[in-house]
Structure 1
């Protein structure tokens, strides 16, 4: 059952996305919103906390919350699936498997997934959509011990992360991400409806369980203009690390 603070957060999220509270605008006061929704200030602050974690609003001591962005950003201090991120922004996520095959792990795949070279892995090519439009092409390599569970999922599975948790209790807890830009190849261009050679944002990620066991490694390519990754840091915390590009 959806809790009241989640419902309020969703209402405010839609109002922000719809322009009722544009970027830079202050939200109504706590007392005004608490009265309007018939809840305590504590419940309202839980809703505010959710929106702040998504980068939608900010706050200062003694001042009203201010809208910082119209759509939720993906924070690099938390791990959320594509479907979770999309739904947090009021969008409808979708997906479809284009191809799936088992193969023997290459040396690079084995190293990333902590396997022996030649161990079985599962290669899945999947297109992701937002409100029906293609935005992301995923090339995911799953460790062999997850292959049967992944293959059992429907081809149009909305959230692989949630479905694997529901089906076999698999929790993807940690992720490492590397971002760069690459030109669209033939498959990228066809599936994302862009010209060959168009610049794509690439996120290479490896996801592990709570115990640190690698589950998957993936090469994710986003169509231009469809997503923004935002990083907020401070003198106390910096979630980014600069590394030299691979050659």
Structure 2
């Protein structure tokens, strides 16, 4: 069933794409939108977060949201979700949890997730496949407050992003990504079916809600030749696009 914030986001999206809310115009305030749709401001914020992620609108401290574009760029959700990206490219995604256990955050994890040192976290090792071939190994650390919802997901869940949106209305709105390369260790080589020492593309990411609350931090390692990341810069947006390697 479609949630209210999704319905509101779609209504605003239509107003933007058909020109009723042109580029440069301001959206109604959160209070006005809440009254119009008969919902809470929290529900409105979830809807606006989806449009922010798509690059359709922008925000400034203390000001109304402005329309930046009438055509969605690659959304953050698509970049964040391997499964959604794969399906958009006509491929079949797969996923399998290899390990999952609760523990206490170390100093780096606590800092990234804005937790007290020693706070409870959930660590998940997940293998992603593309058309049946292993391409990505994710080592994700979830903040304790979302751990139970993650644990309830099927081990073969294709899209954690979509599943958490459907189950508890969680929207991944912001993220920071660091890309580098490293040599495959024993576990990486075994799961990705490459030689030990093979070069892997690593993406370290931390994602937050629209309110800036950290949800997870992850170390993602891609098999050589699996994907290519492309950065396109502009004055309005700086989307990072992921494409399949040739």
**TM class, shorter-chain normalised?**
0.5 to 0.7
**What is the 5 A alignment of 1:115-154?**
115-154=115-154
Greater strand share, 1 or 2? 2
Q: CA deviation at 1:237?
A: 5.6
Q: CA deviation at 1:211?
A: 0.5
Counterpart contact for 1:79–1:174, Cα < 8 Å: no
Alignment of 1:217 with 2:217, yes or no, is yes
For residue 198 of structure 2, what is the aligned residue in structure 1? 198
Q: 1:215 to 1:86 in 2, by over 3 A?
A: same
Alignment of 1:165 with 2:161, yes or no, is no
For residue 114 of structure 1, what is the aligned residue in structure 2? 114
CA distance in 1, matches of 2:95, 2:77: 19
Deviations 1:108-127 (A, max 9, x none): 10000000001000000000
For residue 226 of structure 2, what is the aligned residue in structure 1? 226
CA distance in 1, matches of 2:82, 2:143: 20
Counterpart contact for 2:76–2:173, Cα < 8 Å: no
CA distance in 2, matches of 1:166, 1:92: 21
CA distance in 2, matches of 1:210, 1:174: 7
For residue 91 of structure 1, what is the aligned residue in structure 2? 91
Alignment of 1:78 with 2:76, yes or no, is yes
For residue 208 of structure 2, what is the aligned residue in structure 1? 208
Counterpart contact for 2:129–2:135, Cα < 8 Å: yes
CA distance in 2, matches of 1:168, 1:161: 11
SS of the aligned residue for 1:94 comes to: strand
CA distance in 2, matches of 1:170, 1:233: 28
Counterpart contact for 1:83–1:158, Cα < 8 Å: yes
* Unaligned runs of at least 5 residues, structure 1: 1-41, 43-52, 54-73, 241-247
Q: 1:110 to 1:229 in 2, by over 3 A?
A: same
* Aligned pairs, number: 169
User: TM-score under structure 2 normalisation?
Assistant: 0.65
Greater radius of gyration (CA):
1
Q: CA deviation at 1:223?
A: 0.2
For residue 11 of structure 2, what is the aligned residue in structure 1? none
Superposition misfits of 4+ residues, deviation over 6 angstroms: none
Counterpart contact for 1:79–1:175, Cα < 8 Å: no
Counterpart contact for 1:134–1:192, Cα < 8 Å: yes
For residue 12 of structure 2, what is the aligned residue in structure 1? none
